Structure 1
Amino acid sequence: MRIGELAERAGTSTRTLRYYESRGLLPSRRSPNGHRTYDEDDLRLLRQIRTLQDFGFALEETRPFVECLRAGHPAGDSCPASLAVYRRKLAELDALIDRLADVREQVGRQLAEAERAAAGTAGADRPGVDTLGAAAVPRCEMTG
Structure 2
Amino acid sequence: MRIGELSRRTGVNAHQLRYYEAQGLLEAERGSNGYREYDEDAVLRVKQIRHLLGAGLSSEDIAYLLPCAAGEEPELLGCPELLDAMRTRMRRLEDQMDRLAQSRDALARYIVAAERTSADSYPPFHGAGLAVTGVG
Same fold (TM over 0.5): yes
- Per-residue deviation, residues 40-67 of structure 1 (Å, max 9, x unmatched): 3211211121122223222111112223
Larger Rg: 1
Match runs of 1:21-40 below 5 Å: 21-31=21-31, 34-40=34-40
Change (3 A) 1:23 1:76: farther
Number of residue pairs matched? 118
Check 1:118–1:55 CA distance in 2 against 1; reply closer, same or farther (3 A cut): farther
The residue identity in structure 1 corresponding to 2:76 is D
Deviation at 1:34, TM superposition (A): 4.5
Residues 66-105 of structure 1 correspond to what in structure 2 (within 5 A)?
A: 66-69=66-69, 73=70, 75=74, 77-78=76-77, 79-105=79-105
* TM-align CA RMSD: 2.3
Whichever structure has more strand as a proportion of its residues is 2
Identity of aligned residues (%): 39
Shift of 1:33: 5.2
Unpaired stretches in structure 2, ≥5 consecutive residues = 122-136
Equivalent position amino acid for 1:108 in 2? A
Moved more, 20-29 or 92-101: 20-29
Which residue number corresponds to residue 56 of structure 2?
A: 56
